[in-house]
Structure 1
Amino acid sequence: MSPGPKPSLLLALALVPGLAGCAASRLDHAPDAPDRPWRPATSATGEILPGPPADATAPDEGYVLPANRTLATLPEPPRIDPAKTYGLADLIDLAEAHNPETRIAWNAARDTALAAGIARSTYLPRLTATALGGYQAAHGHGSTPGIGASGDDSFSGTVSALSLQWLLFDFGQRKAIIESVDQATIVANIGFTAAHQRLIHAVSLAFYAYSAARARSDNATRSLDDARAVQAAAQARFDRGIGTVIEVAQAKQATAQAHLAQVQAAGLTQDAYVGLLAAMGLPPLARIAIADADGRNLSPALANDVEKIITEAIGRRPDILAAYSSLKASIANESAAKAEFLPKFFVSANAAYSTGDLSITGVPAIGPDQSPTLNVSNRRLGATILGGVTFPLFDGGRRQAALDQARTRTDTARLALDRAKDDAVREIVMANNALRTSLAAHEAAGELRSSAQTTFDAMLAAYRSGVGSATEVLIAERQLLEARTVLSDARSAALSAAASLALATGALGTAPGRPPGSLAGPGGR
């Protein structure tokens, strides 16, 4: 009869279903049903805790998550002088100090620089120290009829080793790798500069957009004043008996419309202000007194000959410089892949010191030649120096595949450089055209505003004198508002186009209109 299963085996089999159920038991941490709110368990501060949902007695907030009071804090606002009016250059300084994009680019450049240092360490030898210690003990007992014997054995020892490995010559593989990471460092540093240029451009556009919104708000306020003047003139004509109720009603309607437009323009101005803060990387509740952009000159000389612009910019744009460095890095990686087919010469050294002892304690000797105790000790010091060469013979095509990859990446990098040049030329041409168009539009808008102002002033004066109708005056007032708005928008568009052209040419290193190098403060310029 075969023996039955052992109790330990039966216990293990009984535990298997329970262990399998442990994974499925986490389902109770999920919501109870697809159409019922999830009520998570929370701490005293409202933090959501892992585990099953709260019990049914907890308040039901519907599909609203509990508020974590530890997160209900706003970021610390930047240091802003409340008595200072910040111009564009000052705003860019603040942005470069607080916008996380520039710091992310800075960290990326530092990380790549550290990688270049790691690559250079391959020229140095590798020195390793190792220490080992061990102990082993054993006890045994044996007997024969009339004789019994027992013994204790123990072993202990230590090994200390110092190893050196030094690659002496590899046919330029390490040099090629270092060249590749050095070019990657240049790419990262170019990215750091490009991040600042993009930030300056974004802040400049947001600043001009805010200035245009504020100008539209000012124009709406002036339009409201003009509408009230027309309403007062209509009322005065009616009081003198030369006006009609309809004219007064039309004037009141125009005043109400002007007031609505003024309220809407003020709201859009506030939105543009928040957008400017967002471009700077500042919290939306920050309060900054911002200067106007009206002091910036607009000259046709801002749009130069496009061929001259392209010639000066083609070797300065960050994307082209980065593409060129990436091509050089790919060429270096291709050289490193070729070196994998060649032998490598190295030297290796090792020094070791070991100690050990063996002790055996037994029963008294049975024979006359046996000693009851045996002690053995051992110490050894050794050193080895090796020089050699390794030559790869077969690796299943790995090196050839890696070389083919490197050649493909080099070709791709060369094509990327050509594409970057084409894209740069196209962007510069379009930005220059946009600047020329916006400058011409600004000049035409200035003439339009001047003519509309003259027309409205003349018609309002005539209307007050009893000549003309309220409808004609209101139309002139509306046209004047449109002319003012077109002029402010054209100015903002021209300034934005100038900043975009500077970005497209890679020359946007400071605030537009400010001499290079004059910006103080953080930013790495």
Structure 2
Amino acid sequence: MSKPILRLLALSCCLSLPAAAAWPDDPFDTEALAPLRPSPQLAARVGEAPCATALPATPLTAIDAVDLALCNNPQTREVWAAARVQAALLGVAQSAWLPNLDGRLGASRHFADSGDYNQRNAALTLSWLLLDFGQRAASTENARQLLAAAAAIQGATVQNLFLAALQSYYNAQATRAAVASAGEAERSARESFAAADARYKVGAGTPADSLQAQTALSQATLTRIRAEGEARNALGVLANVMGFAAQQPMVLAEFQALSPDDDLQRDVAALIDAARARRPDLRAAEAQLKAAEAGIDLARAQGRPTLSLAAGPTWQEVGGASTNGGSIGLTLNIPFFSGFETTYRVRSAQAQAELRAAQRDSLNNQIALDVWRAYQNLNTAAHSLQTTADLVASAEQSERVALGRYKAGVGTVLELLAAQSALANARLQRIQAALDWQVFRATLAQAMGALDYTLLQPVEVKP
């Protein structure tokens, strides 16, 4: 084998070495800049909180539901992947500051009247952009701000999933309580029917009383059946939020009622100020605005001159005669006219920045509305808790009195059925008030950007 061919093969081997063997996998350490994978730790989980992939052996608590949602819901993987994409794009922007090393190999066969000959060539070129009047700096800043926005969006998604898990869990608990309430109403209706039927059989009652009591019993049974269906649907929704199939069987823990006294119920103006300082989606909007402003600088810089350095050795063989050489030089590129492309790129970037600023301002106003609504709803639910407790107590007493009067023969079946209906409605209103208070409490924390496990610690402690 000829000496030129040996040189060509040696140079080919050098140029074809895998980059991974010569350089680290992540020289700019972008993985460290990316946010952590969504998990219970990101939501201020107290104590050990490894990511769970299966339902616990014990009955499901609210903390379990949130743990599973953060670990298994596909949205957490989606936003984490999006953040890692932006981290890698930051590495792409930073790589523009470093030189490029390119290799080229060529071989050809030429045919001519004077004779045929072979031509081989090889070159190694080092190129380095020395000056670009701010293009790389603007590109890097744009990528850095988009990474910050992606991290903030991930934080907002974690809070949204946290709230969705709590809402689904509380709704499942409420529907379970509604089933129990419907069962109690059905039991009372059956007792009333038994009393009416007994009076009718001994001649102390009318057929109409017995029929009305039978109708009320059938209605109570139908209500219980519908409540059971709604409870099964609520469990399916909860399973879906936690990342499982809707038919996943589960057992809910006994729910512990909360006291309306809460630290979240304080001056609403202070809550709005705290929300604007903490909301991750507002931080994302701010970062997107800064990225758009950096995009304006990038668009302007793309229309400015660039200065590049290029150097490297070359080798060529033509018809058996070989030559070695090299080159070094500077290239100044001056874009005199580009068909107004730069002008319109700048206009587009400026409009994008105005769009992001408007979105930021709109979100800033929306935060105040979110906090205001959640605050008022929480206050309403807190007062409803006490009112419905009194309502249930009075309705229970009224039902007992009506049943006693009817059995004693001094009351009518209509009075009894009305009292039982009022009791059933009071129990349902009590369940709804408890659900509303739980949900609005979590909604206010989420509106403030402060929804984490500390909201649950005083309520339920995982065994």
TM-score by length of structure 1 reads 0.74
Name the residue aligned to 1:280: 242
The within-5 A match list for 1:114-125 is: 114-125=88-99
Shift of 1:236: 4.1
SS at 1:314 equivalent: helix
Q: Which amino acid in 1 is paired with 2:55?
A: I
Match of 1:315 among 268, 277, 280: 277
Distance 2:368 2:85 in 1: 32
CA distance in 2, matches of 1:514, 1:116: 39
Give 3-state SS (helix, strand or coil) of 2:104's partner.
strand
Check whether the contact 1:334–1:406 (CA below 8 A) recurs between aligned residues. Answer: yes
1:24-53 deviation line (CA, Å, top 9, x unaligned): xxxxxxxxxxxxxxxxxxxxxxxxxxxxxx
Q: 1:465 Cα shift?
A: 2.9
Deviates more, 1:341-350 or 1:260-269: 341-350
Q: In the alignment, what sits opposite 1:439?
A: 382
2:433 is aligned, of 490, 503, 514, to 490
Kept in 2: contact 1:300–1:436 (CA 8 A): no
Q: CA deviation at 1:300?
A: 5.7
Structure 1 Cα separation of the partners of residues 433 and 381 of structure 2: 6
Cα drift, residue 484 of structure 1:
0.3
**1:466: Cα distance to partner?**
3.0
Residue 425 (structure 1) shift: 0.8
Separation (CA, whole Å) in 1 of partners of 2:359 and 2:163: 24
Alignment correspondent of 1:13:
none
- Equivalent residue number for residue 462 of structure 1: 405
Corresponding residue number in structure 2 for 1:225: 187
Distance apart, 1:301 and its partner CA: 4.7
Matches within 5 A, 1:118-157: 118-137=92-111, 153-157=115-119
Which residues of 2 match residues 177-196 of structure 1 at below 5 A?
Answer: 177-196=139-158
**Distance in structure 1 (CA, Å) of the matches to 2:447 and 2:197:** 56
Tell me which amino acid in the other structure corresponds to 2:437.
A
**Aligned equivalents of 1:507, 1:352: Cα separation in 2:** 63
Letter in 2 for 1:288: M
* Pair 1:353-2:327 in alignment: no
Question: In 2, distance between residues paired with 1:336 and 1:510?
Answer: 42
Equivalent positions of 1:280-429 (< 5 A) are: 280-299=242-261, 301-357=263-319, 377-429=320-372
**8 Å contact 1:204–1:511 — kept in the other structure?**
no
Alpha-carbon distance in structure 2 between the residues aligned to 1:221 and 1:345:
82
Amino acid at match of 1:92: V
| Structure-2 residue corresponding to 1:79 | 54
State the Cα deviation string for residues 198-248 of structure 1 (Å, max 9, x = none).
Answer: 111112112222222111111110011111222233344445554333333
Partner of 2:423: 480
SS at match of 1:86: coil
Distance 2:243 2:83 in 1: 21
Shift of 1:327: 1.2
State the Cα distance separating 1:137 from its structure 2 match.
Answer: 4.7
Q: Is the 8 A contact 2:193 2:210 kept in 1?
A: yes
User: Aligned partners of 2:260, 2:380: CA distance in 1, in Å?
Assistant: 13
- Please state whether the residue corresponding to 2:312 is helix, strand or coil: strand
Tell me which structure has the larger Cα radius of gyration: 1
Distance change in 2, residues 1:430/1:423 (3 Å): same
Alpha-carbon shift at residue 297 of structure 1 (Å): 3.5
Q: Which of 157, 162, 166 in structure 2 is aligned with 1:204?
A: 166
Q: Which residue of 2 aligns with 1:97?
A: 71
Seen in structure 2, the aligned counterparts of structure 1 residues 455 and 300 have a Cα distance that, compared at 3 Å, is farther
Aligned in 2, Cα 1:489/1:473: closer, same or farther, shift over 3 Å?
A: same
One-letter amino acid of the counterpart of residue 158, structure 2? H
Contact kept in structure 2, 1:455 and 1:476, CA below 8 Å = yes
Q: In the alignment, residue 163 of structure 2 is paired with which amino acid?
A: H
Contact 2:110 2:119 in 1 (8 A): no
Query: Structure 1 CA distance, aligned partners of 2:337 and 2:75?
Result: 47
CA RMSD, 1 decimal: 2.3
Distance 1:201 1:239 in 2: 56
Please give the TM-score of this superposition, normalised by the length of structure 2.
Answer: 0.83
More helix per residue? 2
Question: Separation in 2 of the partners of 1:438 and 1:415?
Answer: 34
4+ runs of 1 displaced by more than 4 Å? 238-241
Using the TM superposition, give the Cα deviation of residue 329 of structure 1 relative to its aligned residue in structure 2, in angstroms: 0.7
The runs of 5 or more residues in structure 2 that have no matched partner are 1-52
1:413 offset after TM fit, Å? 1.9
Shift of 1:296: 3.5
* Aligned amino acid, residue 205 of structure 1: Q
Q: Return the offset for 1:483.
A: 0.3
**Map of 1:109 onto structure 2:** 83
Contact 2:264 2:445 in 1 (8 A): no
Q: CA deviation at 1:252?
A: 2.4
Could you tell me how far 1:513 is from its partner in structure 2?
2.3
How far residue 292 of structure 1 moved from its aligned partner, in angstroms, is: 4.0
- 1:166 and 2:128 correspond: yes
CA–CA distance in structure 2, aligned partners of residues 255 and 343 of structure 1: 87
2:456 to 510, 513, 521: 513
Q: Which one-letter code corresponds to 1:326 in the other structure?
A: Q
8 Å contact from structure 1 (residues 200, 510) kept in 2: no
In structure 2, distance between residues paired with 1:204 and 1:79: 18
Query: What whole-Å deviation, never above 9, does each CA across 1:451-510 have from its counterpart, x for those lacking one?
Result: 101111122223333331222111111110000001001111111111221221111233
